[in-house]
Amino acid sequence: MKDMGLRFTRLMLALSLAVLFVFVNFKAHTASRIKDIVDFEGVRENPLVGYGLVVGLNNTGDTLKTGHFTKQSLQAMLNRMGVKPTDNGLDSKNVAAVMVTAVLPPFARQGSRIDITVSALGDSSSLLGGTLLVTPLLGADGEVYAVGQGQLAVGGFAAKGNAETLIKGVPTSGRIANGAIVEREIRFAMGKMIDYKLTLRNPDFTTARRISQAINAFLGTNAAQPSDPTTVRINVPNNYQNNIVDLLTDIEQLRVKPDQLAKVIIDEQSGIIVMGENVRISTVAIAQGSLTIRITEAKQVTQPSPFASAGTTATVDRTNVAADQGEESKLAVLRPGVSIQELVNGLNALGIGPRDMITILQAIKVSGALQAEIEVM
């Protein structure tokens, strides 16, 4: 009996440990890393834009007679190179005016390379085979941060004949991998900061507090405090002074469960509905039905009987009118506090499609029974 009791105790202990392991594992998988839900101060991209010319096109460039800015740009470029072209001499179809866009990564250093995207600005039909000439890329402050040039890689193509045109993809847009060289750096002295800010991508009071609590528990001090639903401010501890990269590396792996607002997102154009897990509905009755009238017109030919002494062949209109008053529609009552799954199952049981469901959700919100915010895209 003593051995049986000991085995039973060991079995219960093993079962308890297994349940605890599953519970801890579940909590870990439902939480998110801090680095996935916040933006770090100073770690940001910067858009760049420039205007340039693409040459070497196979008779698919801009029409210089109608493309005034392309003609002026070509003349200005040739003048800088010591060439004085005449108006009559500029009739090439191998040049296109383009806009060049790029993204300057955070902490990009002078001499590093970035990808650029080139898009036609005029009436060019294709940029396939073109080469971008030297193009300065400007930031929002008007300063040049990179210079782009190179051979375009175009994913689409266009071919046409007298009776048919075939277009695949977008032949008027292309990319140049590593096509721009960074000429100016954006300075941000992160290493010597004494306090640092984390910005939540989805502002929320509860989530901001949970982030600060997780950081303080890891550091063993009250270094992190939420200043508003979007910002968590961290006072850099003494052991991380002049080494803030180590601090951010340590705290970005901490896991926090973000809180969510009860919200329903509706896209009326496509009929898409997205609902959060916290959406709840009070007791409400739902009925869906409509009156549908269908009118069908058909023409029928009538003619006199064979060997009839009188009569002519005529066309007679035949009209068929049918009405559907929705007699099969049902009334459903939803109990208080139903979840999303129960709501969707109940509405689907009534045979309600996405677009009718949008109207029903809006009506439930107006009645005060929907405990969530509706956002129409």
Task: Give Dmax (Cα) for the chain.
Answer: 118
pLDDT digits (tens, 9 = 90+) for 326-356: 555 555 555 565 666 676 776 676 667 777 7
pLDDT digits (tens, 9 = 90+) for 62-121: 888 776 788 888 888 888 888 887 766 677 889 999 999 999 999 999 999 999 999 999
The CA distance from 213 to 236, in Å, is 15
pLDDT digits (tens, 9 = 90+) for 13-32: 555 554 444 444 444 446 88
Structure tokens at 253: 């792996």
**What pLDDT does 6 receive?**
56
**pLDDT of 145 above 90:** yes
The Cα-based distances of 348 to 112, 151, 275, 332, 361 in angstroms read 56, 54, 15, 11, 13
pLDDT digits (tens, 9 = 90+) for 163-177: 566 666 788 999 999
* 0.75 surpassed by pTM: no
**What residue spans define the domains of the chain?**
46-182, 189-256, 263-289+328-376
Give burial (CB, 10 Å; 0-12/13-18/19+) of 70: buried
